[in-house]
Structure 1
Amino acid sequence: MSTLIAAEGLGHGYHDEWLFKNLTLGINPGQRVALVGINGAGKSTLLKLLAERFSPLEGKIVKNKSVKIGFLDQEPSFPEGYSISDFIFSLENKQQQLIKEYEELIEDPNPDENTLNRLYEELSEHNAWEYEHEIKTILSRMGINHLQQKISTLSGGQKKRLALAKLLIEDPEIYVLDEPTNHLDIDTIEWLEKLLTSGNKTILLVTHDRYFLDNVCNTIVELDRGKIYNYNGNYAFFLEKKSEREAADESTFQKNKNLLKKELEWMRRMPAARTVKSQSRINSFYDLEEKTKQRSDNQKVTLNVKMSRQGNKILELNHIGQTFDDKKIIDDFSYVFKRGDRIGLAGKNGTGKSTLLNIITGFLKPEKGNVDVGDTTVYGYYKQGGLAFNEKERVIDIVKSDAEYIKMADGQTISASALLTLFLFPPKKQHGMVEKLSGGEKKRLHLMKVLMQNPNFLILDEPTNDLDIDTLNVLEEFLENFPGVLILVSHDRYLLDKMSEQLFIMEGNGGVSIYNGNYSEYRISLDNAKDIPLPKAKTQEPNTSTKESKKLTFKEQKELDEIEETVAEKENEIEELTKSMANIDSVDYKKIQEKASQIEALNVDLENIMQRWVELSDRAGN
């Protein structure tokens, strides 16, 4: 199989520090590769090098000149003064230019009839109608509707979706995608999964979304301490093989460490005779010393900050109402928060999730109703947009501006520097400027500042954006043990499934519905609702029908008597499955989905049994 693109002896770094050296990687046609690694490992840099956005300091990128690469940056840039239409439609593509002219014309309330007829004919002549439908579908899915709108007026999320839409329309030979699911709602992510896995697309992507990774990719490449490791399989397979590799690395490191100790003793003996020592053994010593220095312990972010005491009264929303531009965002919503509430906030983009969060936290006063906050409630609000850090400020000074010392869950008080170390910011990074941090490291710093407040009411708005998977696993472990109230907004279906026990569904028309269960259970219930046929219209029974015909038969009476026992059995099964889900390992999300499906099926059975009970009970009472 011919390689489409390859990196040979690649080396790159910033600020006099190498991210990687002598790195080799090849991508074949039809391969869908996920690039994983901790924040700051160099994933985004590697993507940009492969997409030929700039040249490496060492090595080269090899590909056929005719191979077209489509690149989605984390923060895409656009030509000055462009409209959406200018950006989307390529001047070199005749079909696209016809579609552009047609789409712009039909946006006009009074289109010129002659021009419209000409475009109909030309679009048919160039077989562009199917292509026009594909383009409109992509733009609609990305929430792009007004082609004449200037790009400069779009939000950061809208710009990311616009850049992704253009790439999907161009359909290049190689897709290079940096966090493609950021700023997409879950419905759009599921649509994107199907699109990327159709045909024989070649893809290299960085994503934190484990469901998306498993559903799209067939190869995982890990970038770890400047080296590449390949895994042909899904995320669970990658974790298994990675743990085996790390165990082997640890064994090798300990052997090298013991050998280095012996060699050091040999080097220290008879220093005056150093020149007559075996030169090859001396060289081996320095090589061994270098290998041992390069190895760093597999550290994990530590999240164990103290939670503030929580009283009986936490937060009450009383008949909340909010509109923007005459559109109802929230209409008469009430809820009393209880200890241990774990709520996922779901809904399409633009349905008002951030508005509700701002009302809850007091950043926005509702037009109607009131918010009653308990005296002991302490918010921790991790916002989607992140914090506006001063790029020229030192990392440690940003933390010290909040507190010099921080109380931990075990009662200990530690310094700002020690806390930064627990969050994987070594002394060198602590005293460096914020501008030198990667996007993911800035997000980790933001998360740390939120947790420093010792909140008992934690709100996480898209916490998975730009965080590496290792940090997400630790965050999940922290959240599982967090005793306070949690509200989670995330397009990461795995995180929603694992962390929420209840959903607030923003319906888009002002309504906020409450669903008891996690996201997978909710989606299954929606799918099941679609499959249930509508009830037939009831017809009036003839007057000749007697009451005797409605009486229960012996078999039906026996069925009614046994239903109560059946209901209890079903409820016990649901309870046992729910308990077992809590004990499933956080990375085994397929098993979580399987359990959720079983629970949903049991709930459907239980509902049918209860309907039958109502029917039989009514007849028995006649």
Structure 2
Amino acid sequence: MSLISLEDVEIAVGGPPLLEHASLNVEPGERICVVGRNGAGKSTLLRLLEGSLTPDAGRVRRREGINVARLEQAIPKGVTGSVFDVVAEGVGRLGALVARHHELSRRLAEGGEAPELAAVHAELDAHDGWQLDQRVEAVLSRLGLPAEAPFESLSGGLSRRVLLARALVSRPDVLLLDEPTNHLDIDAIAWLEDFLREFGGSLVFVTHDRAFLRALATRIVEIDRGRLTSWPGDYDDYLRRKAERAHAEAQENERLDRRLAQEEAWIRQGIKARRTRNEGRVRALQALRREAAERRSGPGQARLTVAEAERSGRLVAEAEHVDYRIDGRPLVRDFSTRILRGDRIGIIGPNGSGKTTLLRLLLGEITPDRGHVRLGTRLEVAYFDQHRAVLDESLSARDNVAGGEEFLDLGDGRRRHVMGYLQDFLFTPERAHAPISALSGGERNRLLLARLFARPSNLLVLDEPTNDLDVETLELLEERLMDYPGTLLLVSHDRAFLDNVVTSTLVLEGGGRVGEYVGGYSDWLRQRPAPAATPARATAGSREPQRPRGRGGKLSYKDALELEALPERIETLEAALERATAAVNDPNLYERGRAAVEAATAELERVQTELEQAYERWERLEAERERLAGGG
């Protein structure tokens, strides 16, 4: 028998139904990931499974005696007390008694008075509460949580770990997790993956983290336009089968529309049709009309447009032997790097390690204690920081982006009407005019991106841009960033996002060390100093922080392959440069018009830049190879 069953459930929260005739069974031991657009009803589905929400129609059945626990998407307000107190709340009324006994015992151990302790002790004896005390202690130990720390003093990531402990201490048969990776750093996400693989109950979770999804899900449940569809298997299988279904649905809709158009043309023949009409055919036409009217259109495709400024100089930023401390603690130590136009750099590190500080150093917003940072020329910076970015709550979504103007200047001579621009970010006219307070977390993040991308830039700085975005919007953002002609600095804990976007990574490895690696997150895992090391626990070494690490007196395998391939690439680029130079020098070029001249000039500049970068990379790797070979 299923643990929880939804039978023909319907529910609406204003507007179209979030779920229509939805059915779902949660079986013992499975791990279900719920996917769908922002606002599709994923959190609503979790609340239905939990029992905190009642459907408008249909039934929700639960196996008698099962225990269901839910971790909410947002950290709830008003949670106070020690970590022990908060976790103990997960076992109900006796949990409060256990927490009280813990507090009185601590007070007594510190030399204070605890006159109630005997009475609390007796009540725990009477209700066999000691098992609960041991259970709370065991969960705190397993999750590495500080029992006495005040909950309100914790970071976002640690707070969510405490709330997870509160859910787990009740020993749930079904655990419901709503965006569990929000506010967690990469280490914490990896820990959570391992923990949930060993969890013995059933798991239903919502996440935008595709690496997390791929690691855990045994079944995908999709919410799309009120329909709930179950897809057995992993995420990649779901994507393939979903594409096949979308193609079939489009063909069926096209067939329906074609037939409806034919029947409408027949009925419009007027008197001729009325004289010869077939009553059955008329009824069939009416049925076709109803079917077309009831068809709920797809959610639309996001189209993210990034405004572009004039190209920056070739050098964007250069740091030389930079040190920076906060309260005596080294965040950055002896750090050097060179960022060139077109680089896409990811910044990785645990929460609190100094990722945002490193960004501000590279942008010249703060002055290093030692060393210096040199910025390039013609920089136009657009900065996204979801924790510091502020939307004007008194304005609509439209006015937050356009400031009352009708048109936006997106650079390079492109102008867009603000409503058309916001539709690209999935804002309907109704939502575009809605007050900010009415927007969901995902909508607010899309609006922040819309406002950011409306500003022409050639240096894009994104500090945790992926939280609350649905997977489809995430993938589109990836595409736009990969096509962005400027320079990108990206802080993110989303491993798949880093792998798909960045070309190199800066890793805060602890003690002020900043390592530089070619590639994204997965490349860093292969190149990092030792398999056990993480950004928070890497051990000190003799490696220069700004260079790829060599092992055993030679380049890494990946760097050695790159060095071997570079001479051939340089020859290819030199030949391409000759052709591009000849094209620009061809007198006939200028007879073909301005567009042809600009295209040829742009091609020459592109090849020149790529050739310079290839030479520089070859020189850097060759110097590193010689250094490692000589033991220096």
The reply to whether TM is greater than 0.5 is yes
Specify the alignment match of 2:45 in structure 1. 46
Given that residues 140 and 146 in structure 2 are in contact (C-alpha distance below 8 angstroms), is that contact kept between their aligned partners in structure 1?
no
1:191 and 2:191 correspond: yes
| Alpha carbons 1:396, 1:431 under 8 Å: kept | yes
In the alignment, the residues of structure 1 paired with residue 225 and residue 11 of structure 2 have an alpha-carbon distance, to the nearest angstrom, of: 13
Alignment-derived partner of residue 474 in structure 1: 476
* Aligned residue type for 1:357: L
Corresponding residue number in structure 2 for 1:550? none
In structure 1, the residue matched to 2:68 is 69
The 3-state SS of whatever aligns with 1:223 is strand
Structure 1 residue 96: Cα displacement: 9.7
Equivalence map 1:256-405=2 (5 Å): 256-270=256-270, 281-293=281-293, 294-297=295-298, 299-312=300-313, 313-317=315-319, 319-361=321-363, 364=366, 371-385=373-387, 387-391=389-393, 393-401=395-403, 404-405=406-407
Specify the alignment match of 1:36 in structure 2. Answer: 35
Contact 1:95/1:126, CA 8 A, preserved across alignment: no
1:205 and 2:210 correspond:
no
CA distance, structure 2, for counterparts of residue 155 and residue 274 of structure 1: 74
| Superposition deviation, residue 428 in structure 1 | 2.8
Aligned equivalents of 1:124, 1:336: Cα separation in 2: 61
CA contact (8 A) 2:401 2:454 kept: no
Residues 556-605 of structure 1: per-residue CA shift (max 9 Å, x gap): xxxxxxx99x99984577779x9xxxxxxxxxxxxxxxxxxxxxxxxxxx
CA contact (8 A) 1:105 1:111 kept: no
- Residue 539 of structure 1 corresponds to which residue in structure 2? none
Distance 1:171 1:94 in 2: 15
Partner Cα distance (1:96, 1:574) in 2: 66
The CA deviation at 1:276 is 11
Task: Classify 1:397/1:124 alpha carbon distance in 2 versus 1 (closer, same or farther; 3 Å).
Answer: closer
Mind listing any 5+ residue stretches in structure 2 that lack a counterpart?
534-553, 570-621
CA displacement 1:266-314 (0-9 Å, x = unmatched): 3334379979976665454344334334342563211233321233242
Contact 1:386/1:446 (<8 A) preserved:
no
Helix, strand or coil at the partner of 2:17: strand
Please list the CA deviations of residues 471-519 of structure 1 after superposition, one character each: whole Å capped at 9, or x if unmatched: 1111111111112211122111111122222221113323322223322
Structure 1: 5+ residue runs without aligned partners?
532-562, 579-605
Q: Is the 8 A contact 2:225 2:299 kept in 1?
A: no
Report the equivalent of 1:428: 430
Moved more, 396-405 or 191-200: 396-405
Letter in 2 for 1:4: L
Say if 1:317 and 1:336, in contact at 8 Å, map to a contact too. Answer: yes
Matches within 5 A, 1:91-106: 92=92
Classify 1:323/1:610 alpha carbon distance in 2 versus 1 (closer, same or farther; 3 Å): closer
Question: CA–CA distance in 2 between the matches of 1:613 and 1:480?
Answer: 36
2:501 partner letter: M
- The CA deviation at 1:433 is 3.1
Specify the SS of the correspondent of 1:397: helix
Aligned length: 547
**2:178 aligns to what?**
178
Q: 1:179, 1:207 within 8 Å by CA — same for their partners in 2?
A: yes
- Counterpart CA distance in 2 for 1:43 and 1:387 is 26
Q: 1:221 to 1:289 in 2, by over 3 A?
A: same
3-state DSSP class of the match of 2:305?
coil
Q: 2:110 & 2:184 partners in 1: Cα distance?
A: 34
Alpha-carbon separation, structure 2, partners of 1:107 and 1:354: 40
Shift of 1:444: 1.2
Corresponding residue for residue 19 of structure 1: 18
Give 3-state SS (helix, strand or coil) of 1:393's partner.
coil
- Alpha carbons of 1:81 and 1:298: their partners in 2 closer, same or farther (altered >3 Å)? closer
Counterparts in 2 of 1:19 and 1:451: CA distance versus 1, 3 Å: same
Which position in structure 2 is the counterpart of 1:136? 141
- Is 2:419 the partner of 1:417? yes
Q: Distance in 2 between matches of 1:334 and 1:610?
A: 20
Q: Tell me the C-alpha RMSD between the 2 structures.
A: 4.1
- Measured after TM superposition, the shift of residue 173 of structure 1 is 0.9
CA distance in 2, matches of 1:309, 1:82: 54
Residues 480 and 499, structure 1, Cα contact 8 Å, conserved in 2 = yes
* 1:89 aligned counterpart, secondary structure: helix
Q: Which moved more, 1:312-321 or 1:348-357?
A: 312-321
**Counterpart position of 1:442:** 444
Q: Secondary structure at the match of 2:12?
A: strand
The farther-off stretch of 512-521 and 390-399 is: 390-399
- Residue 612 to residue 124, structure 1, CA distance change in 2 (3 Å): farther
